[in-house]
Amino acid sequence: MARGPGKKLTTIEITRDEGTDPLPTTDCEALERIAAEVGHSHTLPAVVRLIFIADDYMAQLNASYRDKKGTTDVLSFDFGPTPGQPHSGEIYISLPQARRQASEQGVPELEELARLFVHGLLHLAGWVHDTPQQLTAMERETETFLDAIPL
């Protein structure tokens, strides 16, 4: 759970699709710590579901919601307030794509997962990257959290 100054609690639920391997408990705990830190600085939905999926499912989501072909690394969906329900959002991370990116960049898998998770959380907090300047600012903010939290 994450609580920012004067902010509501955010519940983080981490799950996976059938086509993916489970993450070690220590990795899940690290991702929960990261969400707590992001929640200290940004308003997040009351419930955030982090779902690890395979490339084929991510490609379906990417086609359906972004009209783009192929897989991508992370997608966020903010469901907004719903009467009688807490504000919620979902972050989907393609585990195979994240692993490929970690390998290509020469970084530990957990570091890449954390980077993608923070990116998704920032989208749920209202950040966008429609311009190169917005993307640079979002990447800087992501790195601020990754530098502050030992994995």
Give Cα 124 to chain centroid, integer Å: 9
Residue 9 has pLDDT above 70, yes or no: no
Q: Say how far apart CA 21 and CA 43 lie, in whole Å.
A: 31
Residue 48 in domain: yes
Query: Regarding predicted confidence, which is higher, 19 or 29?
Result: 29
Largest Cα–Cα separation, the chain = 45
Confidence label for 7 from pLDDT (cuts 50, 70 and 90)? low
Residue 151 in domain: no
- Please give the average per-residue pLDDT across 42-52, as a whole number: 94
pLDDT in tens, 61-100: 999 999 999 999 999 999 988 788 888 999 999 999 999 9
Residue 108 in domain: yes
Residue 5 in domain: no
pTM of the model: 0.91
Min mean pLDDT across 46-55, 82-91, 104-113, 117-126 is at: 82-91
Report the CATH number that the domain containing residue 18 is assigned in CATH: 3.40.390.30
Locus of tokens 């917005």: 134
Contacts with 32 (C-beta within 8 Å, 6 or more apart), sequence order: 1, 12, 14
DSSP 6-40: T---BEEEEEE-TTSPPPPHHHHHHHHHHHHHHHH
pLDDT score recorded for residue 115: 97
pLDDT score recorded for residue 99: 96
Q: Tokens for 64?
A: 């359906």
Task: Identify the domain containing residue 53 by its residue range.
Answer: 11-146
Locus of tokens 């959380």: 121
Q: Tokens for 97?
A: 């794509």
Please give the tally of structural domains in the chain. Answer: 1
Residue 4 in domain: no
pLDDT score recorded for residue 18: 84
Q: Give me the long-range contacts of 23-26 (CB less than 8 A, separation at least 24).
A: 23/52, 23/113
Q: Say how far apart CA 8 and CA 132 lie, in whole Å.
A: 32
Residue 46 in domain: yes
Residue 133 has pLDDT above 80, yes or no: yes
Residue 21 in domain: yes
Confidence label for 6 from pLDDT (cuts 50, 70 and 90)? very low
Residue 1 in domain: no
